[in-house]
């Protein structure tokens, strides 16, 4: 979108969108239609209008606060990469159980001891978290995140986490080793089908 706007275009067709994201124009139209009739027959979708509508429906226009739990190698890499986050997500806190880590880490983002987790999340209204603690600690961490009222979690620890639907907390598991297994399975199955 930004790319197209940069090129001076002010509207875009379902076909163009489809090509960009590798899906059929049918699907693009159908998906967009779920959030309302906002296209113009003959010319397509007005980009600014489309972005506004999607943003409103999906709550992407409001700024949301995020935190990182577990400031090891991976956690600090993410913490220090806030430029990666689009302007509606802000990492406002880091947590670790090791006081040593907290005291030695140099970053302009406030870092706290992990026992304050639930409290700080609640007080600051943090809605999103990235978990980068060792696997054995992740179960405990998610419980406390939920206790603090977290809404969404990206879990990098090697043990897959399931948030209970009842508590309305959504979690995505990012597991490199698991993904490697999945990818291997894909291409071995392909080979077994004779390739």
Ligand X SMILES: NC(=O)c1ccc[n+]([C@@H]2O[C@H](COP(=O)([O-])OP(=O)(O)OC[C@H]3O[C@@H](n4cnc5c(N)ncnc54)[C@H](O)[C@@H]3O)[C@@H](O)[C@H]2O)c1
Residues that bind ligand X (CB under 6 A): 69-75, 77-78, 81, 84, 95-98, 101, 114, 132-135, 137, 140-141, 156-158, 176
Residue span 11-50 as binding mask against its own copies, x where in contact by CB under 8 A, dash where not: ----------xx----------------------------
Residue 103 C-beta: closest distance to its own copies, Å: 20
Q: Are 148 and 122 in contact (CB under 8 A)?
A: yes
Angle between helices 25-33 and 14-21 (to 10 degrees): 110
Residue 162 CA to residue 47 CA, distance in Å, equals: 37
Binding of its own copies by 58 (CB under 8 A): yes
The count of residues interacting with its own copies (CB under 8 A) is 51
Backbone φ and ψ for 88, nearest 5 degrees, come out as: -95, 5
Residue labelled with tokens 């509606």: 88
3-state secondary structure of 160: coil
CB-nearer residue toward its own copies: 86 or 100: 86
Residue 81 C-beta: closest distance to ligand X, Å: 3
């Amino acid at each position: 979108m930004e790319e197209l706007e940069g090129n001076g275009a002010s509207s875009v067709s379902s076909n163009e969108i489809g090509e960009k994201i590798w899906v059929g124009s049918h699907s693009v139209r159908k998906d967009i239609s779920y959030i309302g009739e906002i296209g113009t027959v003959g010319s397509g979708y007005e980009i600014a209008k489309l972005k506004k509508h999607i943003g409103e429906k999906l709550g992407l226009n409001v700024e949301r606060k995020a935190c990182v739990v577990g400031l090891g190698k991976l956690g600090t890499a993410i913490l220090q990469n806030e430029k990666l986050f689009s302007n509606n997500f802000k990492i406002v806190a880091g947590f670790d159980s090791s006081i040593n880590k907290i005291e030695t880490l140099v970053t302009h983002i406030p870092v706290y001891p992990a026992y304050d987790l639930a409290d700080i999340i609640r007080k600051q209204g943090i809605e999103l978290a990235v978990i980068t603690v060792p696997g054995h600690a992740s179960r405990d961490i998610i419980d406390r995140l939920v206790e603090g009222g977290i809404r969404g979690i990206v879990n990098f620890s090697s043990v897959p986490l399931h948030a209970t639907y009842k508590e309305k907390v959504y979690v995505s598991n990012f597991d490199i080793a698991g993904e490697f297994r999945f990818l291997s399975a894909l291409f071995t199955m392909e080979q077994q089908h004779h390739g």
